[in-house]
Amino acid sequence: MHKCHKTLSFNTLVAQAMRVMLSLDKASMQVIEDNMNNERGDRSGLLLETHDMMFGAFVQQIDEMNANFLKCWTSHINALALPAGKAETISLWYWLRHHFSIASAASLFGPESPLTLDPSLEHDFWVMEDNIGPLFSVPYPSIFLRKAYQARQRVFDALIEYGEQERYKLPGTSRLIQARAELIMGRYGFSKRMFGQAEGSMLFAAIINTVPVQAEIDRCTGVVEGKGKERRRRCVLNVPELRTQCPLFNSAMRETLRITATMNINRFVQEDTLLTNHSTDETFLLKKGSGLAIDANVMHFQQSIWGEDAGVFNARRFMPTIEKSKGDTEGGKAVDMAATFRDEKGKLHSGAFRSFGGGNNVCPGRQFAQTEMQSVVALFVAGFEIETPDGGQYKPPPFESRKMIAGVHKPGRDVEVTVRRREGYADVEWLCEM
């Protein structure tokens, strides 16, 4: 399916979502729909140009965006469980979601991001996200979905103000948002108001999916003595080393995504298209005008791909070599946790892992998101002891049950944890190095 991007369209669905969810006016929608499936064959038009620009920008500016995120994030971490020796109980999901949303928005939208100027918007954002299905389908949402409609309106108003006050021009705003402003307003003539509203799509893409091994992580940290009498000792986390020095940590993160990030990958069939399953030689005719979805929820839990333990969390599943993936022995025999997920040479292949989609529309924010998630978890692991308030065993919550999943699965209830600074790190202030 990902190879047929000419006839199976992502952009037709994007345009639909922009019309319904972002309430863009008629003139802006006409600009969005122009050549959106490359009918002219020259990749002109707003959707295709922003798509191509973004894929480049995410590669070129990833360090800058991650540094913006980490600056904001470390300020929350450095304020946690103080004074040294004090335990602080937090609702983990709510705490992470709140600070993560604000830091992610700031990393893109800059120092005057709507969520930085008004942190209560974070709540409105999640009310809107919770009602994404009904907001798509219920007629007259201002009457029948009053709360969600008003929450969405407050988010829009803040984004419109962001556009009208030209806050994207401030230093510290990502080049990605500045380049979108140049393209969307400068080249395609959107008003500042419609630009602000359209950026709801970026806010949405950046926030909804990114939520959230000690020895490996400790190898990536170093202590720098604070200068002056009053300065706290400083500890530096080397973020790029998290990617290269921590195979178990990386494997556990990918496994978390396998289980939680199982959204449908949707396409609209522009032309009759034949799809062949090369392992069975079966051929399917997809009829023009129909919708198509890969259900990652089915694919990510298929025993024929992942083995008998497909249904359970297995931190070692994505270890890069067979040797490393061998976990505890079973009846005296070491078991390769990822045996069925390797090619004949023993290398992991990624075809069945669809958390970030694939092909032409593969998620451009995936590296950015993975660095965000890794550094957040790494700072917790490196600097804090975390336990349940009663000291008992941690029980993972069930997933929230919802009919329409827009992004990664959320926990069905929050988890209270008690956070204490780790021995030897009680007084440190954390910094991140890119």
Which residue ranges are tagged as binding site for heme? 363
Nearer to ligand HEM, 36 or 80 (CB): 36
Q: H/E element holding 335?
A: strand 333-336
To ligand HEM, the closest distance from the beta carbon of 333 in angstroms equals: 35
Nearer to ligand HEM, 252 or 265 (CB): 265
State the Rg of the chain over Cα.
Answer: 23
Cα angle value 414/418/422 (rounded, 5°): 135
Following CA atoms 122, 123, 128, 132 in sequence, which dihedral angle do they give, to the nearest 10 degrees? 90
Query: Measured between alpha carbons, how far is 162 from 283 in angstroms, rounded to an integer?
Result: 50
Neighbour-count burial of 298, counting CB atoms closer than 10 A to its CB (0-12 exposed, 13-18 middle, 19+ buried): exposed
Across the beta sheet with 8-9, what order do the strands follow?
8-9, 264-269, 291-295
To ligand HEM, the closest distance from the beta carbon of 274 in angstroms equals: 20
Nearer to ligand HEM, 149 or 190 (CB): 190
Nearer to ligand HEM, 206 or 252 (CB): 206
Length of the chain: 434
To ligand HEM, the closest distance from the beta carbon of 250 in angstroms equals: 14
Instruction: Give the bridge partners for 336, in sequence order.
Output: 326
Q: Strand 264-269 to strand 8-9: parallel, antiparallel, or no bridges (unpaired)?
A: antiparallel
Which residue ranges are tagged as binding site? 363
Nearer to ligand HEM, 210 or 221 (CB): 210
Q: Strand 273-277 to strand 8-9: parallel, antiparallel, or no bridges (unpaired)?
A: unpaired
To ligand HEM, the closest distance from the beta carbon of 363 in angstroms equals: 3
Cα angle value 346/254/276 (rounded, 5°): 65
**169: Cβ contacts below 8 Å, ≥ 6 apart:** 178, 181
Nearer to ligand HEM, 207 or 338 (CB): 207
Nearer to ligand HEM, 121 or 265 (CB): 265
To ligand HEM, the closest distance from the beta carbon of 154 in angstroms equals: 22
To ligand HEM, the closest distance from the beta carbon of 11 in angstroms equals: 7
To ligand HEM, the closest distance from the beta carbon of 156 in angstroms equals: 19
Residues at the contact surface with ligand HEM, assessed by CB under 6 A: 10, 51, 54, 205-206, 209-210, 261, 263, 265, 355-358, 361-365, 368-369, 408
Neighbour-count burial of 229, counting CB atoms closer than 10 A to its CB (0-12 exposed, 13-18 middle, 19+ buried): exposed
In Å, what is the CA distance from 240 to each residue of 56, 186, 367? 20, 35, 11
Quote the strand ranges of 121-260, DSSP E: 221-224, 234-238
Nearer to ligand HEM, 134 or 358 (CB): 358
In Å, what is the CA distance from 387 to each residue of 27, 79, 392? 54, 19, 8
To ligand HEM, the closest distance from the beta carbon of 408 in angstroms equals: 6
Nearer to ligand HEM, 151 or 263 (CB): 263
| Residue position matching structure tokens 């045996």 | 339
To ligand HEM, the closest distance from the beta carbon of 222 in angstroms equals: 28
Helix (H, G, I), strand (E, B) or coil at 247: helix
